[in-house]
Structure 1
Amino acid sequence: MRYLWIFHMMIIMTFLFIAAPSVFAEVRTGQAVFKDLIIDDDGREIKVSEPVILFEGQNYLPLRAVTNNLQKSVYIDEHTNNLVIGARFPNEEQPSKEPVEASQYRPSLKFDGQVSSNGIIIMEDNQKNVMFEKNGYSTYYPASTTKVLTALIALELGSLNDQVIVSENVNKLPSDSRRVFIQPGDALTLEQLLYGMMLYSGNDSALAIAEHIAGSEEAFAKLMNEKAKEIGAIHSNFVNPHGYHHPDHYTTPYDLALILKAASEHPLFLDIINTPVYKAVYTNKKGEKVVKTWDTTNSFLKNSNLAIDGIIGGKTGFTTPAKRTLVTVAEHNGHRYYVAALKGDSVGRYMDTRKLLKMAYQKRAAYDQEIIKNINVAFFDHSLEIGDQSIASPGQIFIYKGRTYISQSFLSQILADVDQLTATDNNIKINLEPKFAFEEIVKPLSMSLVKQQNKPHIQNKLIAHSFSSLLAFSYFKSHSFMVR
């Protein structure tokens, strides 16, 4: 009996290898990037075992993961060699679903280095990729880098053309912090005050902005703390809009980088911190025209010896307890970087920032070279059948390492609306909504495609109807070969 079973298996495999025609004609080589695929399944995030493949400018999704989520089966019709998407077979095995975890395709990009600043951090794109930190979660005095948060709130709650009348309170500020020398009764726009605050670090500008937005410095400080908590900067406390020293006014490099990231989502903020010189024309309380020119305090924009490719700008700060502080935004090869350096020295904060940016660029470039792979794929050369529709699929479906992939754009056209919820270097998260419902009966299959010698091999799974009518072999009950 055992020998008879082996004999029958040899007959079956010989028949399949001889009879099964190739339906994957074109083998193509190209550059690909792999990312985790996360499917939002009624609010539950599921990471499937196969990745998304970015190939020749398109996202290709694992077809079995897609059809599984839509409660459908996919197989190859032996007679037409077409891919068929139909109702799920009874008792069909479900592909495994894995909880979301750290990406296997993009490890966290980190590096080591020596810096002089007491506390410093660099983020790439968002808080999930802290590439380097030294005391990044310890508290320090921020000095005038506080003004980034003030600018963020002003941009969100104010209007750039608002007319702001400077109050008498400006004269209560310490004289060494009244850098733009606006006077009580001066009428400036909110936009002009933002330039005065961010370029020339005027505490008088910051106070005028705070009073305009919230009515008082104390009320504005409350807004600052609320906003900080909202964006995740939970280890900070602010008591004024400008950063003049106060023992209860503190932050961390991590929190400050989060604040910088939030502010950088406003295009005008980036324009302001990228401006070397600004000319303000406004009127004083007598109605007379006043002309002021404010230069940036940021040496990255003034000193070509310090400059490095990609820097947009940032904000400096200094008080005796805080020492020298600096936050910087940079963009390089499609990625944005946020650096916050606290309690450094005058030149060291720039050198630290420059060093971390160069190392981040190098780390990113090395990683991109590693993940961009040349792969061979075999494109499907037949049609896709859905219900009673037969749809040509040139260049839209391929096999890679035994798995079938379908282009995201093609899938959106024919089967399900693909809502791409997020797309990061780590993963792509999608939601699938079927375009229609169908419950057609799937015809029993006697055989399907298997691998052939010297062809890209296709792994198939046995799960539905019988070979018994073909070879009278009673061991096979209800099975067919399914696409993987």
Structure 2
Amino acid sequence: MLHAVIAGVLVVAAGPGVAAAVPTGSADQGQLLPWPVHGPEGVQAAGAALADGITGTVLWSREAHTPVPIASITKVMTALVVIVAGDLERPVTVPQEAMGYCGKHNGSTAGLAPGEVLTARQLLYGLMLPSGCDAAYALAEAYGPGQDGFIARMNDTARVMGLGGTHFTDPSGLPNPTDDSTHSTPVDLVALGVRAMSLPVFRDIVGSRTFHVPAGPGNREHHWNSTNRLLHEYPGTLGIKTGNTDAAGHCLLFETIRAGIPLIGVVLHSSPHSSVTAKEDAERMLNWAYDPILNVLQPVR
């Protein structure tokens, strides 16, 4: 109903040069909302998509079905598999092997120590905020059981979800065994994001800017900060995950809500070196969608 009301207002107010978005594969939902027909300008990402955050209906995309490396956006599926499995208060011991795994692939870490014990819920924060590959390894060992078992569960989940352009060979998105062996597409990642963000636990985690684990009998103190710049810099941001490897470049899967309208999107390989570029790509896409709405809805003076 909200979409219909806003669409009606904008159709009257927007004037020439604006057209209704025709969602991919959903012709009966045309006239969802009107936007400039040329799409967002200045987006650097090689692949991208922006969609309705409720249905996943794609509003704009680039190379929507092209599989590419996705780096640590992989951890969204890792978190999804763990949360759906449940028992998030179970104690998980950090394996010694997690340290060598991170070191071998130069992966980001949550600063975990071998042998320390945290709950699965705590490790999910370490997985998603600082993008801890050590947390991914520990969770995979506990929930697989083992790396191979867990990766099989990731791929089974992707298959059930219909993510035909997606495949996982690692729970972190590291180049293991090859640069592009873990890959996905913009439209698949939007669908994955919609599913993950439907889980309250996941939303709470990825919407957190920081998380503190006090020292306990089996663990040392941890203080984790989110790598998602949008959480700090773009109004209405709800999450969700950054990513970066040499092959994938800087990537960002994101969701926001403004004027009561949730949007979810992804940018892949925005830059070889800069997470700022990925954030700016996301902002350009979001502003392209929100600005016509906010300009009409702002109070008339």
Same fold (TM over 0.5): yes
> Which residue identity does 1:261 align to in structure 2?
V
Match of 1:270 in 2: 203
Q: Match for 1:242 among 166, 172, 175?
A: 172
Query: For the residues of structure 1 that align with 2:67 and 2:117, how far apart are their CA atoms?
Result: 37
Using the size of structure 1 for normalisation, the TM-score is 0.51
The structure-2 alpha-carbon separation of the partners of 1:108 and 1:226, relative to structure 1 and needing over 3 Å to count, comes to: farther
Contact 1:139 1:235 in 2 (8 A): yes
| Pair 1:145–1:106, CA change in 2 (3 A) | same
State the distance in 1 between where 2:30 and 2:45 align: 33
**Preserved CA contact (<8 Å) 2:242 2:252:** yes
Q: Which one of the candidate residues 86, 104, 124 is aligned to 1:158?
A: 86
The match for 1:172 is 100
Give the aligned residue type for 2:231.
L
Identity %: 28
Flag the 1:146–1:105 CA change in 2: closer, same or farther, 3 A.
closer
Q: CA RMSD in A?
A: 2.4
Q: What is the correspondence of 1:10-409 to structure 2 with a 5 Å cutoff?
A: 102-103=27-28, 106-107=31-32, 111=37, 112-114=39-41, 115-126=43-54, 129-175=57-103, 176-177=106-107, 179-245=109-175, 246=178, 247-283=180-216, 287=217, 289-302=219-232, 307-345=233-271, 346=274, 347-364=276-293
Give 1:235's aligned amino acid: G
Distance 1:363 1:231, change over 3 A: farther
Q: Is the contact made by 1:158 and 1:213 (CA closer than 8 Å) also made in structure 2?
A: no
Q: Give the number of the structure whose residues are more often helix, by fraction.
A: 2
Shift of 1:125: 2.9
TM-score (norm 2): 0.80
2:31 counterpart letter in structure 1: R
Q: What 5-or-longer segments of structure 2 have no aligned partner?
A: 6-25
Report the Cα distance in structure 2 between the residues aligned to 1:342 and 1:128, rounded to whole angstroms: 18
| Greater Cα radius of gyration, structure 1 or 2 | 1
Q: Give CA-to-partner distance per residue, 1:411-465, whole Å, 9 cap, x none.
A: xxxxxxxxxxxxxxxxxxxxxxxxxxxxxxxxxxxxxxxxxxxxxxxxxxxxxxx
Distance in 2, matches of 1:128 and 1:269, equals 17
Aligned-pair distance for 1:282? 5.0
Mapped to 2, the partners of 1:104 and 1:337 lie a distance apart of 16
Classify the secondary structure of the residue corresponding to 2:166.
coil
CA apart distance, 1:207: 0.9
| Separation of aligned partners in 2, 1:105 and 1:177 | 43
CA 1:167–1:128 in structure 2 vs 1: closer, same or farther (change >3 Å)? Answer: closer
CA contact (8 A) 1:193 1:205 kept: yes
Unaligned runs of 5+ in 1: 1-32, 35-100, 370-484
Q: Is the 8 A contact 2:71 2:172 kept in 1?
A: yes
Count of aligned positions: 264
Q: How has the CA–CA distance of structure 1 residues 259 and 128 changed in structure 2, closer, same or farther, with 3 Å as cutoff?
A: closer
**Residue type of the partner of 1:355?**
R
Per-residue deviation, 1:242:
0.5
Q: 1:367 to 1:214 in 2, by over 3 A?
A: farther
Structure 1 residues 309 and 171: CA distance shift in structure 2, 3 A: closer
Q: Matched residues in 2 for 1:335 and 1:365: separation? A: 11
1:456-467 matches, cutoff 5 A:
none
Residue pair 2:102, 2:133 contacting (<8 A) in 1 also: no
Maintained 8 Å contact 2:102/2:134 = no
3-state SS in 2 of match to 1:120? strand
Secondary structure of 1:173's aligned partner: helix
Deviation, structure 1 residue 333 = 2.5
**Counterparts of 1:290 and 1:188, CA distance in 2:** 9
Structure 1 residues 126 and 229, CA gap change in structure 2 (3 angstroms): farther
SS state of the match for residue 115, structure 2?
coil
